[in-house]
Amino acid sequence: MARKDNRGRNLRTGESQRKDGLYMYRYKDERTGRRLAVYSPDLAELRKKEKEIEKDQSEGILTDTQCKNMTLNDLFEIHMDTRKLAESTQANYRRMWNSLVRNELGQMKVVQVRPSHVRLFYSRLSKQKYSHSTIKFLHNMILPSFEVAVDDDIIRKNPAKRTLGDYGEPEKKRTALSFDQQKNLLNYVKNSEVFHIYLPLLQVMIGTGLRCGELIGLTWKDVDLKTRTVYVNHQLIYKNYGDGCDFHVTMPKTEAGIREIPMSKMVAKAFETQRRLNFQMGIPRDVKIEGLSNFVFMSRSGRPMMPTTVNFILRDIVKAYNEEENERAKRERRKPEELPHISAHILRHTACTRMAETDLDMKVVQYVMGHANISVTMEVYNHITDRSRIEKEIAKMDLVQIM
């Protein structure tokens, strides 16, 4: 039997009348799954609101009630749905958001968030020893998420503006290897009984500036030794997309990442050596990762090298080198010349630095590195502070100064 109001009129699904006579309509927000309600002292007026809600829901438009109850998490989802991002980038954004924002600031209603809330959130992260770069990364998701609400007139001002400040531990600078450090590294690996098989890997990394994902994703179809060209059009990432951690093939980070890199003589020779090593070690070439096979740099099972494996190799090389260097320095009664910490990213930074030091056109360097913005390339160049480079540049003044 249909429910009736106090005047005997039938009430529809979702409608009810309270004891004080106020009419209420409860409905489900199809976008968020939340139960919401609107009220009116008059049944006809309530049904006008119902029609507006039904129309807004069908057109995907937010109602006033929905706007008032919207959280920062809701804004983030809208922001992510309206951005064109690589699958790996989107997964990384969501991972960071779910880990650090979703259960704290993310749960707050947008209309209630003030700049002080955002600053307190960053301050808590800072006290937990998160770096400034991590907090800045989150800020670059929070700020545009609030901007969605500003554009839709849900809030007047963006509460995240001018809230970043200097929170967090200072970012550790990744310094490129000097020319002498690079030479010492390659010479040590070349002559090492343990690490010599990794020489081609290091030479390709330093000679091309490939990102780690681009490097481990290289197949022999991407390497043309006749034209001496490396074709970069994909990368491998090792992520958990809900089916456990595994390799996934994705596009390069940006459109600028799709490029054709000419090989230097050193790089061409390194690829030839690597092909010979793969054959000599009998590494299988038929392992497939989402259609790709016959990878250049593989484990003995034929699977591509994992990103962590590359960095572990570099760590072990540096550790062994420094131990031997310290022993030599003791015998020769001198200060040891140790190698610093080296990662795949530092070798990419080193590659960019070497190109800049040889006075290559910076637009060429930008293309080879796959930087979407030349400001990134110039930032690397501006960090070059090697003593020999400074002396070389100052010496140029002797050519133009008049005694």
Tokens representing 5? 């109001």
Segment holding 236, helix H or strand E: strand 235-240
pTM (whole model) above 0.95:
no
* pLDDT one-digit tens code per residue, 136-188: 999 999 999 999 888 887 888 999 999 988 877 766 666 889 999 999 999 99
Q: Which of 8-12, 33-37, 81-85, 311-315 has the lowest mean pLDDT?
A: 33-37
Segment holding 223, helix H or strand E: strand 223-224
Kindly report the CATH class assigned to 179-389. mainly alpha
Using a pLDDT cut of 70, give the percent of the chain over it. Answer: 88
In this prediction, residue 137 carries a pLDDT of 92
From the number of C-beta atoms within 10 Å of its C-beta (0-12, 13-18, 19+), residue 321 rates as: buried
The CA angle 286-287-289, to the nearest 5 degrees, is: 130
Q: Which of 377, 361, 380 is nearest to 369 (CA)?
A: 377
398 has pLDDT over 80: no
Q: What does each C-alpha distance from 389 to 135, 145, 192, 350, 379 come to in angstroms?
A: 34, 44, 30, 14, 16
Q: Cβ(368)–Cβ(261) under 8 Å?
A: yes
From the centroid of its chain, how far is CA 401? Answer: 47
Tokens representing 210? 């490939």
Partners of residue 295 on adjacent β-strands: 219
56 has pLDDT over 80: no
Residue type at position 27: Y
In this prediction, residue 254 carries a pLDDT of 78
Residue 363 backbone phi and psi in degrees, to 5: -70, -35
Tokens 């009430």 belong to 11
The mean pLDDT of the chain is 87
Tokens representing 202? 């290091």
Mean pLDDT value across residues 252-268: 91
Mean pLDDT value across residues 283-308: 90
The CA angle 144-147-151, to the nearest 5 degrees, is: 145
Tokens representing 304? 């591509």
Q: Cβ(381)–Cβ(362) under 8 Å?
A: yes
In this prediction, residue 378 carries a pLDDT of 82
**CB neighbourhood size of 200 (10 A):** 24
Q: Which of 104-113, 118-127, 158-167, 168-177 has the lowest mean pLDDT?
A: 168-177
**CA-to-CA distance for 366 and 157, rounded, in angstroms?**
37
Q: What is the 3-state secondary structure (H, E, C) of 20-49?
A: CCCEEEEEECCCCCCEEEEEECCHHHHHHH
In this prediction, residue 66 carries a pLDDT of 62
Q: Which of 127, 140, 126, 128 is nearest to 96 (CA)?
A: 140
